[in-house]
Structures are given as C-alpha cells and as structure tokens.
Structure 1
Amino acid sequence: MRALFIGGTVDNSELDLDGTQPPRHYPENTGGGQPRYRLHHVGRRDDRVAYAVYAPAGLDDAEVERVAAERDYPRRFQAEPERMAN
C-alpha cells in the first residue's frame, strides 16, 4: 500500500506502508503526543487498500479532496476513494 501526503512539509511525498490497514496517524508515534498527519481517505481496489492519503490535521477537507482529485489518485491506482471518519 502506498501512503500519499497532501500539505505540510512533505507535500506530494509518497512512501510504502507495510500491512493491510494504514495507521490513523502518521507517524504513528511522534513522542510529542501530537500526530503530524491524519488519515483522510483510502483508495480501495478488490477489497484491499491500494493507497492512503494523509494530511495535516488543520488542513481543510475540501482542500485535501481538491488536491487528491487534481493528482488523480483513483485513476492512478485504479481504486475507489473511501473517506475515513475523523
């Protein structure tokens, strides 16, 4: 599964995640108790998570959705986006 970042200091960065479910926050343990990025939505393909979109907690949902649509993640990963509850 691929982690995709929108906003913050790592905007437009990507990395591979192990496992079948993405963590709710990235990185999972910051040591300071305040997560840097929250899971915004995932892209599902064949009942699997193909990608996970992370954004800073303060970034507006509409902006995250706009950028994700602009970058066309669903087409790129041939997956259906699914919004995560906060």
Structure 2
Amino acid sequence: MRALFVGGVIDNNELDLDGGEPPRHYPPQTGSGQSRYRLHAVGHGNGGIACAVYGAPDFDPDEVLRISGERGYARRFGTELQAVD
C-alpha cells in the first residue's frame, strides 16, 4: 500500500508500507514523545488497502480530506477514500 502525507515537513510525499493494515500513526513508534502523522483515510482496492492518507499532527481532519481530494489521491489509485475514526 502507498502512504500519502498532508501537511508538516513531509507534505505531498509518499512511501510504500508493508502489511495488511496501515499503522494508526506514522512513524508507528518513535519512543521520543514526538508528534506523529495520524491516519485519516484509507482507499481499498485490489483485494486490500491501496492507499492510506496521513495528516500532520496539527492539521484539522477535514482539511486533510479536502487537500487529499484536491490532489486526486483516490483517483490515482482507482478507489474512494474512507475516513478513519
């Protein structure tokens, strides 16, 4: 699956994630108490999760979804993004 980032220092970057489920936070474990990107939405496709959208710690969840829509993340992966609680 592909991880896509909105906001913060790695805004508009992406990377491959292994596993069947995206971690709730990225990076999954820092041990430093430093804020991490939070999972906001997933897009299902090809029998699993095709993409996961992460937002910077200080970003409003609605803003993360709006920006990911403008960037066409779902369209790129032929899926619809579903918000994560």
Q: AA paired with 1:74?
A: A
* Overall identity of the aligned pairs, in %: 55
* Alignment coverage as a number of residue pairs: 85
Alignment of 1:39-54 (within 5 A): 39-54=39-54
Cα offsets for 1:11-57 (capped at 9, x unmatched): 00100000110000000111113441000110111441100001122
The secondary structure found in structure 2 opposite 1:63 is helix
Output the aligned Cα RMSD. Answer: 1.2
What TM-score comes out, normalization by structure 2 length? 0.92
What TM-score comes out, normalization by structure 1 length? 0.91
Equivalent position of 1:19 in the other structure: 19
Q: AA paired with 2:3?
A: A
* Residues in 1 aligned to 2:77 and 2:30: alpha-carbon distance in whole angstroms: 29
The secondary structure found in structure 2 opposite 1:42 is strand
Matched, 1:3 2:26: no
Equivalent position of 1:62 in the other structure: 62
Equivalent position of 1:72 in the other structure: 72
- Check conservation: 1:27, 1:35, Cα contact below 8 A: no
- Check conservation: 1:26, 1:37, Cα contact below 8 A: yes
Where structure 2 has 5 or more consecutive residues not aligned to the other structure, the ranges are: none
4+ residue runs over 6 A deviation: none
Greater alpha carbon shift after TM alignment, 33-42 vs 21-30:
33-42
